[in-house]
Amino acid sequence: MQSKRYVLAIDLGTGGPKVAILSASGEITAVVSRAIDTTFIVGGGAEQDPGQWWAAITASTQEVVETAGIDPEDIAVIGCTAQWSGTVAVDETGNPLRPAIIWMDSRGTKDIENQVGGFPRVMGYQVSKILSWIRLAGGAPGMSGKDPIAHILWIKNHESALYEATYKFLEPVDWIGMKLTGQAYASYDSICLHWVTDNRDIHNVKYNKRLLSISGIDAAKLPDLIATGSIAGHLNKEAASDMGLPAGIPIAAGSGDVHSAVVGSGAVDDFDMHLYIGTSSWISCHVPFKKTSALHNIASIPSAISGRYLVADEHETAGACLDFALSTLFAGIKESEAGNVDTSNQQNTVLSDMPAKRASVYSRAEERIPGVLYAAMERAASVASPGSGGVIFTPWLNGERSPVDDHTLRAGLHNLSLYTTQNELIRSIYEGVAFNSKWLLDAVESFTGHRCNSLAFIGGGAQSALWARIHADVLQRDIIPVDEPILANVRGAGLLAWLAVGRIQAGDIHGMVATGTRVTPDPDLAPIYESGYKRYIDIYKKTHGIYRRLNA
C-alpha cells in the first residue's frame, strides 16, 4: 500500500461527475468530467438517472487513467463525494427502482409538514419532536421537503408499492459506494440529513429509536452505519471491470459535497471559513461543538474528518442564477459574437441570439454553456457601476434553505426603470448572490460566535475575478480564491481518501491546497453595498408572504 502512489477521486456533482487522479502530495495530475441530465417535474420534482451517473463515472475513470498515463495497479485507494441530500431507492443488488430524487426536489413538503407537526406546535414542529431532533441529531428536517427524510416519506405516501419493494434508501454517494463494494452502507457524515442518528458522541454515531419513530421511516430500509474516515470495503470484480481497474482497491467511506468541499478548500482548522459558489452555495467551517439554530436552519453536523463537527447550511441557487440568465433572460447570444462584445457603451446589447439550452437550467457551466458566454457576462457586469444603478436581484429561483427555510421564495429583479441598462441587470445578478452570501455570513458568524476575517473561495463561481471582488466589497472581508476552485470537491475526496489509509494527517491538508491572490475589500464601497443590502433584506421582509401565497 505504501508504494502505491495515486488516489482515484470521484465527485458526482449536480451537473455530472468529475473523476481525478491525485498524487501523494495532493496534486491533481489529471481530471475528466462529463455532463448528466436533470429532469424537472411540475410540482417541485427534480430527478436524475443513476444509470447515467454510473456510465459517466466509469467512462471518465477509464479516460482519466489513460490521460494521467498511470498504471491502474498503482492506485492505492478510491475516494468518493457527491451531491448531498438525495435519495436512491434500490433493491438488494443495488439496482435503482426509480430515478434518483435529488436535493432540489420539494415534492415532500406536505409529507414532512404532516410528519413533524402536532400539538403543541412551534415553528411548525410538534414540541417534543423538535426537542428530540435538536437534542439528539443536532438539527431537524427542513420544511422545504428537500431532505432525504422528506423524499422517503413522499415515496412512502405516493409510491407505496415501490416503498415496500425498496431494500435500502441511499444517498447518491452511498449508492456509488454500493456499486463499488457491493455493500449498502452510510458513513456518520453522509447519513446525518436523514435526521435519524444520535450525533452526541461524534465517535459513535448511531440510529436512534425515538428519531426513527418520529420520522416515520422503517429502520430496516436504511443502510448500516460505518465510521467517518474508515475503509468501507474493496472494489468488487463487476465494478472493476466497468472501470478498467484491478479488483480489491480499498474504498474510503464517502462524503457529501459540503464535507469534501471544506477539505478541498484547505480551510480545515476550527472557525476557518470557506465560501462555495457553484450551482448552489454555502458558507461553512469546522467548529468544536454540536449546536443548532432552528431559526436560521444552521447546524453543526459530523464532518468527513473523524471526530470533527462541520457547520451545515445552504443557499439553493447561486451559480445557477447565471445559467438561468443565459438560458432565459439573455437567451440568444451567438458564441461567435460573445468574444467580441463591446462593453464600452452602457447601452450596448451584450447578449442576443444563442439557442436556449433548457434541458437543465441548473446544469454545470463548463458542460452546458460555453465559457465564452460567461466571459461575456462578466465583461458586461464589470462595465456597470457598483450598486447596479439601484437594481437589486434576489436569487431565490428555487426557494431558500438558510438563513430562512422557505421553498416558496422566488427570484426577482427589483427597481427597474426605463433607464436601466442591460449591463446593470447582469451586474445585479452577481451582486444579488453576494447579498445572499452576506445574509448567510451574518447568521454563520452569530452561530459560531466568531467574526470571519477571510474566506477561502471555491466552486465554479470562484473562477470569476469579478465575483471575488464583489464578494469582498459586499462582505467587507478578504476573499482568498483557491487554485483550480472548481476541483475543490474532487480534491477533497482524494485528500479524505489519503486520510482514510493513513498517508496524511488532517493537519497536513492546509499546506496541500494552493491559493491565489487575496482580494481585499474596498472600504469606499462599503456604504453603497450596505445600503443595497438593507434594501435587499427589506424586499425579503415585504415579499415573502406574497411568494408563499403565490407558490404554496
pLDDT digits (tens, 9 = 90+) for 99-127: 999 999 999 999 999 999 999 999 899 99
Confidence of residue 77 (pLDDT cuts 50, 70, 90): very high
> Is this structure's pTM higher than 0.85?
yes
Q: What is the tens place of the pLDDT at every residue in 155-185?
A: 999 999 999 999 999 999 999 999 999 999 9
Neighbours of 343 (CB within 10 A): 16
Provide mean pLDDT across the span 305-320: 94
Q: What is the tens place of the pLDDT at every residue in 405-421?
A: 898 999 999 999 999 99
Contact call for residues 47 and 460 (beta carbons, < 8 A): no
Distance CA(111)–CA(129), nearest Å, equals 15
Distance CA(218)–CA(49), nearest Å, equals 25
Would you state the pLDDT for residue 36?
A: 94
Would you state the pLDDT for residue 363?
A: 30
Judge whether residue 49 has pLDDT over 70: yes
Judge whether residue 333 has pLDDT over 60: no
Q: What is the tens place of the pLDDT at every residue in 462-501?
A: 999 999 999 999 999 999 999 999 999 999 999 999 999 9
Q: Give buried/exposed letters for 289-315 (b at 16+ CB in 10 A, else e).
A: ebbbbbebbbbbbbbbbbebbbbbbbb
Distance CA(337)–CA(323), nearest Å, equals 18
% of residues, the chain, pLDDT over 70: 93
Would you state the pLDDT for residue 355?
A: 29
Helix (H, G, I), strand (E, B) or coil at 423: helix
Provide mean pLDDT across the span 393-404: 95
Q: What is the sign of the dihedral through the CA atoms of 404, 407, 413 and 414? A: negative
Residues in the chain: 552
CATH 3.30.420.40 intervals, the chain: 6-108+143-265, 319-481+522-551
- Pull the grid cell for residue 126: 410538534
Average pLDDT over the chain, rounded to whole?
92
Would you state the pLDDT for residue 123?
A: 85
Neighbours of 420 (CB within 10 A): 17
Confidence of residue 354 (pLDDT cuts 50, 70, 90): very low
Helix (H, G, I), strand (E, B) or coil at 471: helix
Q: Domain spanning 6-108+143-265: which CATH class is it, in words?
A: alpha beta
Judge whether residue 343 has pLDDT over 80: no
Would you state the pLDDT for residue 4?
A: 84
Q: What is the tens place of the pLDDT at every residue in 201-260?
A: 999 999 999 999 999 999 999 999 999 999 999 999 999 999 999 999 999 999 999 999
At the topology level, CATH places domain 319-481+522-551 in Nucleotidyltransferase; domain 5 (3.30.420)
Judge whether residue 26 has pLDDT over 80: yes
Judge whether residue 431 has pLDDT over 50: yes
Q: What is the sign of the dihedral through the CA atoms of 47, 50, 54 and 59? A: negative
Would you state the pLDDT for residue 2?
A: 64
Confidence of residue 279 (pLDDT cuts 50, 70, 90): confident
Backbone angles phi, psi at 121, to 5 degrees: -120, 145
Provide mean pLDDT across the span 300-327: 93
